[in-house]
Amino acid sequence: MTATTAKEQSIASSIQLRAVTKAFGSVQVLKNIDLDVASGKVVVLIGASGSGKSTVLRIMSGLETADSGEVVVGDVPMHDPKRAPEIRGHVGMVFQQFNLFPHLNALGNVTLALRKSLKMSKAEAREVGLRCLERVGMQDRCANYPSQLSGGQQQRVAIARALAVNPRIMFFDEATSALDPELVGEVTSVMRSLAADGMTMVVVTHEMGFAHRTADRVVFMDDGVIAEQGSPEQVLKDPQHPRTQQFLARVLEA
């Protein structure tokens, strides 16, 4: 890879949110969110349920549009409704409920976008798909349907599916929350290896161990605002905001 393309990539995979607001009906879900994610960094979003974490991810991935403010993901200005669709296929999203396509087997899930939106040949898509499944340790199960896989395996296939289109940024929305405790590790270790490879990641999670070991920055959201952010050491070990302290006390107790 030459220096220029590396530089282009480093510009193209950062995220900036400026004064972002979002309401559902009369409920103000996001109030003035400012957030920067430099390329190659891992930002972990924590906060109580309903504080707006998913909404932030959904706005960054183009599933929702902000009511006001600026959202730039990679080089796509998401606040411009005409240009927002450009982001599709360039970011990956991993959902709490996996959202695998039940009528396709693991390989079919991973190759669908390769064949339909990237127009790869069947053989080419298969090759890329198998490589992605291998990366998450699921190549042996490529012919299994989602209903035949454990939760952890399904989530790893979902990660492979997101990786297949070669995204520059990955979003994880409570990717391990629906899993049995003993299956969490297999998914977080895949996530850690992605981070080690330099993927830009925004991760909503309640796994404080993951946050502590992997995050470059931890952002605590409370009721639609960012109450506190900083290094994992700062936020998790020495929180300043009373709401952060309360939240961490509750999570660590559980």
Partner 1 sequence: MLYQWRSVLEYLPDFLRAMGLTLWITLLAFALALVCGLGAALARNSKNAVLRLGAGAYVEIVRNTPVLLQIFVVFFALPSFGLRMDAVTAGTVAIGVNVGGYLCEVFRAGISSVARAQREAAQVLGLSSRQAFISVIAPQALRNVYPATVNNLIQVLLGTSLLTAIAVPELTGVATVINARTLLFVQVFAIALVLYLVLSNALSFASGLLGRVLFKPPLEQVRPGLWPVRRARTITTTAEVAA
Ligand X SMILES: Nc1ncnc2c1ncn2[C@@H]1O[C@H](COP(=O)(O)OP(=O)(O)O)[C@@H](O)[C@H]1O
List interacting residues with ligand X (CB under 6 A).
Answer: 24, 29, 47, 49-55
Distances in whole angstroms, Cα of residue 3 to Cα of each of 10, 84, 160, 194: 11, 28, 28, 22
Going across the sheet that includes 169-173, the strands are 91-94, 169-173, 200-204, 42-47, 217-222, 225-230
CB of 22 to ligand X, least distance (A): 8
CB of 56 to Mg ion, least distance (A): 10
Residue (65 or 234) nearer to partner 1, CB? 65
Distance CA 87, CA 130 (A): 25
Residue 83, contacted partner among Mg ion, ligand X, partner 1, none, CB below 5-8 A by kind: none
Applying CB under 8 A, the residues found at the interface with partner 1 are: 61-63, 88-93, 95, 97, 99-105, 112-113, 116-118, 145, 147-148, 161-162, 165
Cβ proximity to partner 1: between 63 and 249 the closer is 63
Crossing angle (nearest 10°) for helices 151-164 and 106-116: 20
Distance CA 131, CA 109 (A): 14
Q: Which does 147 bind (CB under 5 to 8 A by kind): partner 1, ligand X, Mg ion, none?
A: partner 1
Q: Coil, strand or helix: which one is 231?
A: coil
152's contact among partner 1, ligand X, Mg ion, none, with CB below 5 to 8 A by partner kind, is none
- Select 53 or 135, whichever has its Cβ closest to ligand X: 53
Radius of gyration of the chain (CA): 18
Q: What are phi and psi of 3, to 5 degrees?
A: -60, -40
Look at residue 102 and give the partner it binds from partner 1, Mg ion, ligand X, none, a contact being a CB closer than 5 to 8 Å depending on partner kind: partner 1
What part of residues 38-67 is at the interface with Mg ion (CB under 5 A)?
A: 54
- Count of residues binding Mg ion (CB under 5 A)? 1
Interface residues with Mg ion (CB under 5 A)? 54
